[in-house]
């Protein structure tokens, strides 16, 4: 038994400086600690450097879109929770927004406020745990992740008290929300929101100046402004590449025009992992601002408009989109006059942001490929659907 072929038949022998050498092909995933689910990267390594990368996914495909075309509009709502299972509230919202456009349902004001509150809490949950996972990918032993989860837990408790479930909230309905929040919930939410900035201060102190994190993330996984735009990247990743684009500002859907908030974005010189990480850190501060305004301005009233549970919309095409924490989440529906949608299509931000993975990883080290994947912020439920 001799030579490299005995170890791995897929070694590729190449000549380099008169030496016979070879690339190492490693299949990272689907059972890899830091592929964020069942994602696989077929990586070709020259030593530690990535010379080729092929993303392989589909392990979590659950036929979401075709299933939705075979059930009533309402019945797909719980399935949207399972797309990006970190942010079920914003998934619900995007779908509800599309369906409300289809049948033209008015949403009561209290419901709009609660929707904004839920969506911004979701954004906090997503960003805070993303940063935790990201630093975990960098090799920290779970400390930032567990701090993040400690805070996430408080918000999930709020979700549970309002909707009965921590992650699969299934809380939004066409025309409002399934039920009003229980008594005292708003005070508890105010309490959580008021204490969140203290945690963010601590988190920033722990992470944002750390020399190791700075040198690990800066200049790694650069995504140029042009490539980001032409690849259709959205969300914090696009803003990290220097494009000021936030659907909350562009569409002003729901009642986002009533709140004062700013959208952080980088100057677009690099668009590396550090930018993506920092944009999310800064976005959380803005979300807290929105939450404080929304929790201050919310009034009494019904939370569910006059909407039928099961309906037959007139033939039409609609596209509803929200600024989900990961990017633009859109639902495209074609109604044909039956109680079921003729076509149901999800625009998943995770999948579309993932398309530039190869461009960002080439020439980087194998350790960088892991953090670049982490900084994209994918959830496989949404990528594979």
Partner 1 sequence: MSLDLIRDILIATVPLLVIFPTLFAFTTWLERKALARIQNRVGPNKVGVPLTRYGGRFSLFGLGQPLADGIKMLFKENIVPRDADRLFHLLAPILALIPAMLVLCFLPLEFPWTESLLPVQAFLLDGAVIFFFAITGLNTLAIFMAGWASRNKYSLLGGMRAIAQMISYEIPLVLSAVVVVMMVGSLNAAEIANAQADWNWFVFTPWGLAAFVIFFIASLAEINRSPFDLPEAESEIIAGYFTEYSGFKFALFFLGEYIAMFAISGLAVTLFLGGGAGPGVAALPWLSTVWFIAKIFALIAVMIWLRGTLPRLRVDQLMGFAWKFLLPLSILNIIVAGFAWHAQQQASGILKAIIWVACLLILYATAKGLDQLNRPNVRPREYKYAE
Partner 2 sequence: MSLLGGGIFKGMAVTLRNFVGSYFYKDRLTTNDYSWRPSDKLPQRAGEYPKEEGEQLRDTTTVTNYSRNFPMLLHDGSEPMDTIRCVACQICERECPPQCIYIEKSTEKKENAGGKPQFFPATFDIDVSVCMSCQICVEVCPFDAIVMNSQFELSTPDRFGGLLLRRDDLLKSNGYYHKIHPEEATARDKRIAEEKAAKEAKKKAAAEAAKKMAEEKAKAEAEANEGTPDMEENTE
State the binding partner of 308 from partner 1, partner 2, none, CB within 5 to 8 A by kind: none
357 touches partner 2 (CB under 8 A)? no
Applying CB under 8 A, among 72, 218, 224, 293 the residue interacting with partner 2 is: 72
Q: Which range, of 14-22, 87-95, 155-163, 376-384, touches partner 2 by CB under 8 A?
A: 155-163
Complex with partner 2: residue 122 or 163, whichever CB lies closer? 163
CB 176 within 8 A of CB 107: yes
State the binding partner of 215 from partner 1, partner 2, none, CB within 5 to 8 A by kind: partner 1
Element (H, E) at 56: strand 49-56
Q: State in Å, rounded, how far the first CA of the chain is from the last one.
A: 45
Strand partners, 341: 335
State the binding partner of 23 from partner 2, partner 1, none, CB within 5 to 8 A by kind: none
Q: Exposed (0-12), middle (13-18) or buried (19+): which is 331, by Cβ within 10 Å?
A: buried
263 touches partner 1 (CB under 8 A)? yes
> Angle 273-297/185-207 helices, nearest 10 degrees?
160
CB 4 within 8 A of CB 11: yes
228 touches partner 2 (CB under 8 A)? no
Applying CB under 8 A, among 120, 275, 323, 377 the residue interacting with partner 1 is: 275
What is the Cα–Cα distance from 47 to 63, expressed in whole angstroms?
39
300 touches partner 2 (CB under 8 A)? no
CB 222 within 8 A of CB 364: no
Q: Would you mind telling me the total number of residues written for the chain in this entry?
A: 385
Complex with partner 1: residue 313 or 374, whichever CB lies closer? 374
190 touches partner 2 (CB under 8 A)? no
Q: Exposed (0-12), middle (13-18) or buried (19+): which is 124, by Cβ within 10 Å?
A: buried
Complex with partner 2: residue 23 or 68, whichever CB lies closer? 68
Q: What are phi and psi of 16, to 5 degrees?
A: -145, 120
State the binding partner of 48 from partner 2, partner 1, none, CB within 5 to 8 A by kind: partner 1
Smallest separation, CB 218 to partner 1 (Å): 5
Q: What are phi and psi of 328, to 5 degrees?
A: -80, 115
- C-alpha neighbours within 13 Å on the C-beta side of residue 243: 22
Complex with partner 1: residue 270 or 356, whichever CB lies closer? 270
Q: Which range, of 198-206, 218-226, 237-245, 357-365, touches partner 2 by CB under 8 A?
A: 198-206
What is the Cα–Cα distance from 318 to 135, expressed in whole angstroms?
39
Residue span 170-209 as binding mask against partner 1, x where in contact by CB under 8 A, dash where not: ------------------------------------x-xx
Q: Which range, of 70-78, 88-96, 97-105, 342-350, touches partner 2 by CB under 8 A?
A: 70-78
What is the Cα–Cα distance from 309 to 379, expressed in whole angstroms?
30
309 touches partner 2 (CB under 8 A)? yes
274 touches partner 2 (CB under 8 A)? no
State the binding partner of 75 from partner 2, partner 1, none, CB within 5 to 8 A by kind: partner 2
What is the Cα–Cα distance from 316 to 13, expressed in whole angstroms?
57
* Residue ranges in 291-350 that form contacts with partner 1 under rule CB under 8 A: none
* Residue ranges in 21-60 that form contacts with partner 1 under rule CB under 8 A: 24, 26, 32-34, 45, 47-48
266 touches partner 1 (CB under 8 A)? yes
Angle at 217 (CA atoms; ends 216, 220), nearest 5 degrees? 105
Strand order in the sheet with 341-347: 316-324, 327-335, 341-347
Query: Tokens 């509150």 map to which residue?
Result: 117
Secondary structure letter of residue 220 according to DSSP? S
Binding residues for partner 1 (CB under 8 A): 6-8, 24, 26, 32-34, 45, 47-48, 135-143, 146-147, 150, 206, 208-216, 218-219, 244, 246, 249, 262-267, 274-275, 278-279, 282, 365-368, 370
Binding residues for partner 2 (CB under 8 A): 71-72, 74-79, 143, 147, 150, 153, 157, 160-165, 168, 170, 173, 178-179, 182, 202, 205-214, 309-310
């Amino acid at each position: 038994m001799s030579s490299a072929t005995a170890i791995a038949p897929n070694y590729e022998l190449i000549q380099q400086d008169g030496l016979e050498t070879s690339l190492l092909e490693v299949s990272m995933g689907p059972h890899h600690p830091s592929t964020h689910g069942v994602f696989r990267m077929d990586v070709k390594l020259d030593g530690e450097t990535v010379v080729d990368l092929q993303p392989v996914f589909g392990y979590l495909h659950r036929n979401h879109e075709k299933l939705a075309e075979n059930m009533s509009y309402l019945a797909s709502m719980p399935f949207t929770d399972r797309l990006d299972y970190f942010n079920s509230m914003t998934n619900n919202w995007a779908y509800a927004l599309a369906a409300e456009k289809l049948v033209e349902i008015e949403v009561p004001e209290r419901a709009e406020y609660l929707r904004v509150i839920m969506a911004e809490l979701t954004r906090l949950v997503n960003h805070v745990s993303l940063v935790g996972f990201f630093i975990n990918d960098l090799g920290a032993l779970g400390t930032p992740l567990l701090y993040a989860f400690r805070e996430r837990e408080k918000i999930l408790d709020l979700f549970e008290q309002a909707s009965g479930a921590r992650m699969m909230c299934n809380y939004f309905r066409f025309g409002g929300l399934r039920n009003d929040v229980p008594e005292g919930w708003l005070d508890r939410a105010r309490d959580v929101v008021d204490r969140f900035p203290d945690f963010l201060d601590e988190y920033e102190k722990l992470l944002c100046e750390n020399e190791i994190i700075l040198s690990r993330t800066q200049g790694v996984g650069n995504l140029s402004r042009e490539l980001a735009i032409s690849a259709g990247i959205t969300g914090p990743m696009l803003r990290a590449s220097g494009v000021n684009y936030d659907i909350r500002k562009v569409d002003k859907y729901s009642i986002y025009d009533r709140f004062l908030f700013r959208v952080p974005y980088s100057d677009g010189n690099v668009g590396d992992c550090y930018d993506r990480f920092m944009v999310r850190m800064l976005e959380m501060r803005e979300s807290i601002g929105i939450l404080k305004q929304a929790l201050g301005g919310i009034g009494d009233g019904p939370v569910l408009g006059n909407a039928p549970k099961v309906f037959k919309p007139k033939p039409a095409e609609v596209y509803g989109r929200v600024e989900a924490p990961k990017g633009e989440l859109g639902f495209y529906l074609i109604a044909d006059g039956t109680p079921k949608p003729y076509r149901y299509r999800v625009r998943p931000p995770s999948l579309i942001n993932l398309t530039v993975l190869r461009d960002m990883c080439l020439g980087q080290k194998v350790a960088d490929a892991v953090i670049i994947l982490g900084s994209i912020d994918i959830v496989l439920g949404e990528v594979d659907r």
